[in-house]
């Protein structure tokens, strides 16, 4: 699934082109996504100028004067820029057409979403999909102390607590495994048992892992591509444990283990990440 670095990389790519430009046409080729694309969405936005391209968690927020288009890339989706005359491919479901640019939402599994939040309904951050999201990982309010406080009393594993998204957003399955490895924390440890010192290490690791991924343009797993159609390079350079089951740890040479937590694969080094 595209995670925060992939979504932020996409946001940066579309923001440089879309912002300030009138949308000539929004074309919906397939409305049956995770939630149906509103039938009247094209008439709501066609001819209106894009005022902003923001992000909240894994949601892209394309702002207009009268509302916000909420876009989610789903499990394997991408939003890429294409030439004005390039034919749409199979699984290209939504098209944004500007005077000198064109974007296509590619989503083979149709787990993504393109929704509308009208300005008359209040701030977009009050939308049900956004209202309960945790703090952003690079927000100055996200501190080691905050993380330690939020974990108190939680009996779930630390990996599951990170994936929940109600403490901090964007630390999805891939980057949770990598962050825990950097912090030397076993993913099976009960979240509420982490000491302040361990939370300090984890907080530092979360931010450094996501920062490295942003610098590299996101992940090359599956078919992720950024807004220009290019793959990221994070796992060519930085991956320490994710998707490396049975391979030697880059630090101690112990074989990396794979377990399943909450129906998601977790990768860790049993030596570097002792309980």
Q: Give catalytic residue positions.
A: 2-3, 58, 264
Q: Which residue has the tokens 């040479």?
A: 253
Q: How distant, in Å, are the alpha carbons of 68, 184, 272 from that of 269?
A: 43, 9, 5
Cross-strand partners of 67: 64, 118
Three-state DSSP state, 177: helix
- The contacts of residue 98 (CB under 8 Å, 6+ apart) are 17, 18, 21, 22, 23, 24
Q: How distant, in Å, are the alpha carbons of 51, 61, 119 from that of 122?
A: 17, 15, 6
């Amino acid at each position: 699934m595209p995670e925060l670095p992939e979504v932020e990389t996409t946001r940066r790519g579309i923001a440089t082109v879309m912002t300030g430009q009138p949308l000539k046409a929004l074309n919906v080729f397939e409305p049956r996504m995770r939630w149906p694309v509103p039938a009247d969405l094209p008439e709501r936005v066609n001819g209106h100028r894009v005022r902003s391209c923001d992000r909240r968690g894994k949601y892209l927020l394309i702002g207009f004067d009268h509302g916000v288009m909420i876009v989610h890339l789903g499990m394997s989706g991408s939003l890429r820029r294409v030439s004005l005359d390039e034919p749409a491919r199979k699984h290209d479901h939504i098209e944004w057409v500007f005077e000198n640019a064109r974007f296509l939402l590619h989503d083979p599994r149709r787990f993504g979403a393109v929704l509308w939040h009208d300005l008359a309904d209040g701030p977009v951050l009050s939308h049900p999909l956004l209202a309960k999201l945790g703090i952003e990982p690079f927000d100055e309010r996200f501190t080691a102390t905050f993380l330690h406080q939020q974990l108190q009393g939680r009996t779930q594993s630390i990996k599951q607590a990170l994936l929940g998204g109600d403490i901090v957003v964007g630390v999805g399955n891939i980057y949770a495994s990598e962050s825990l490895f950097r912090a030397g924390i076993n993913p099976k440890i009960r979240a509420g048992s982490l000491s302040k010192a361990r939370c300090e290490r984890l907080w530092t690791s979360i931010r450094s892992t996501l920062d490295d991924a942003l610098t590299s343009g996101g992940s090359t797993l599956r078919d992720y591509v950024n807004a220009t159609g290019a793959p990221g390079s994070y796992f060519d350079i930085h991956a320490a444990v994710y998707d490396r089951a049975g391979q030697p740890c880059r630090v101690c040479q112990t074989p990396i283990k794979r377990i399943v937590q909450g129906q998601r694969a977790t990768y860790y080094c049993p030596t570097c990440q002792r309980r």
